[in-house]
Amino acid sequence: MKRFYILILLCTLFTDLSQAQCTITPGASGICAGGNGAVGNGQNINTGQTYWHAGSSTNFPNVSLNGGTLRICGTAQLSDFNFNSGNLIIEAGGELVISGGGQLNLNGNCRITNYGILTIARNMSMQNANNFLFNANTGVLNMVGQELELNSNSSPFINQGEATIGTLRIQSNNGGVCLSPTSSLSVSTLINNASNPVQVNPVGGAMGCISFSGNAQLNQPLTASPDLVICQASGATISGPSNFGTAAVNQNCGDCASLSLPVTFSHFAIQQAGDQVQLEWHTASEQNSAFFRVEHSSDGLVFSPISPEIAAAGQSNRERQYDWTDTGPLPGLNYYRISQTDRDGSQQWTGVKAILIDKQVKVRIFPNPAVACLYITNLPPQTQEVVLLNMQGQTLQKSTEFSSETLKWSTAHLKPGLYLIKWRANGQSGQEKIVIE
């Protein structure tokens, strides 16, 4: 059967990464002196005011930040902290613990910049406009056992350093996550309800990393960035109808700090090649790499290898190019990714690419007119059902399981007349009238 293909590249291809969450200006670093003086218990810090702490470990209960600036250069704890608006800045060498009961809500114009060590021992939600949590390249953010919720299109989390979070819940796109190359973000649970909320900026350099040890619930694709690597710990699980997008996934790894990818992918593309799908991928470097395989899925969730083992370079510090052709793509959406296997058996994957194949399937029904039996041939792969109806629309016969591309039906029990056969397969459908004599 001659096949016709219309190839459409979906916009899972790399997109413009210059999104709002990567253009935030952090709070300026400064000294803990002058201003309105040292912070005290129950301090109200209003618009235009600057308070600070430069001493040894001290707890300051019931501080309220109401539009001003609080700067931490020493070691401090803020219990039952009220953050209504303003700037909280932890300087390099400073340590701050935010504790207390209940959730810490950032309801608008609340800006946290961490150059030091920040522990947030409360669940925190960034909602409404113009909040941000900026963890600089010198910063360490600890939210072990706590939840960080991103719930506003203008309230991002920017991580340039090291961050550990119990549950990261992403509800919004532009107010998502921006990672710098070489940054490390470790979570127990990841819940993503936004489309491509994670960006790595600048692009084209080292990889940003997210590791997870529990469950990743992916209700939307996580990223369109090729510079993100996912570290899936041993025993960690994935749920939800979507995937990690274009991120490279490395299974059974400890954490981002211990991650050493045997292969750095620099390019992955798919395109039409006659009646086939051609895949091409490049590597920038390889260490102890054994082979690649092309994996395919019809739903974007469950993948199976469709290629033989494609030998890798093993050791390489220059760009290497690979390609393979799928000679039998399915009608409808086809999803592809590349798996890479190291010599010790460890694996990693590229992100997922998708193509819509519109095959003009020519199902053949004969004989027509029919007397005793009827043959339906050239059924496409993944045919879901074939139905025989009378001209009043009543279903007379139906098949939903197929062991081959040919279906045989007995028609001896049917009255002479005009009938309709309908078929449905992976997003396509067709029908044909037949005569029973």
| Secondary structure in 3-state letters for the chain | CCCCCCEEECCCCCCCCCCHHHCCCCCCCCCCCCCCCECCCCCEEECCCEEEECCCCEECCCCEEEEEEEEECCEEEEECCEEEEEEEEECCCCEEEEECCCCEEECCCEEEEECCEEEECCCEEECCCCCEEEECCCCEEEEEEEEEEECCCCCCEEECCEEEEEEEEECCCCCCEEECCCCEEEEEEEEECCCCCEEECCCCCCCEEEEECCEEEECCCCECCCCEEEEECCCCEEECCCCCCCCEEEECCCCCCCCCCCEEEEEEEEEEECCEEEEEEEEEEEECEEEEEEEEECCCCCCEECCCCEECCCEECCCEEEEEEECCCCCEEEEEEEEEEECCCCEEECCCEEEEECCCCCCEEECCCECCEEEEECCCCCEEEEEEEECCCCEEEEECCCCCCCEEEECCCCCCEEEEEEEEECCEEEEEEEEEC
Spell out the domain ranges in the chain: 364-436
pLDDT at residue 106 greater than cutoff 80 = yes
pLDDT digits (tens, 9 = 90+) for 146-164: 999 999 888 999 999 999 9
Query: What is the spatial distance between Cα 94 and Cα 110, in angstroms, rounded to a whole number?
Result: 20
pLDDT at residue 100 greater than cutoff 70 = yes
Query: What is the spatial distance between Cα 23 and Cα 121, in angstroms, rounded to a whole number?
Result: 28
Mean pLDDT of 287-300: 89
* pTM flag (> 0.75): no
| Centroid of chain to Cα 170 | 11
The rounded mean pLDDT for the chain is 86
pLDDT digits (tens, 9 = 90+) for 11-68: 333 333 345 568 889 999 999 999 999 999 999 999 999 999 999 999 999 999 999 9
Is residue 205 very low, low, confident or very high in pLDDT (cuts 50, 70, 90)?
low
Maximum mean pLDDT: which of 112-116, 249-253, 342-346: 112-116
The pLDDT assigned to 360 comes to 60
Cα-Cα end-to-end distance for the chain: 29
Q: What is the dotted CATH code of the domain comprising 364-436? A: 2.60.40
pLDDT at residue 382 greater than cutoff 80 = no
Span of 13-22, 138-147, 195-204, 391-400 with lowest mean pLDDT: 13-22
Span of 122-126, 181-185, 271-275 with lowest mean pLDDT: 271-275
Dihedral angle of Cα 244, 248, 253, 259, to the nearest 10 degrees: -130
Is residue 359 very low, low, confident or very high in pLDDT (cuts 50, 70, 90)?
low
The pLDDT assigned to 50 comes to 97
The share of the chain scoring above pLDDT 70, in percent, equals: 90
pLDDT at residue 335 greater than cutoff 80 = yes
pLDDT at residue 75 greater than cutoff 90 = yes
Mean pLDDT of 210-217: 96
pLDDT digits (tens, 9 = 90+) for 242-279: 999 988 888 888 777 666 667 888 888 998 776 689 99
Span of 11-25, 279-293, 350-364 with lowest mean pLDDT: 11-25
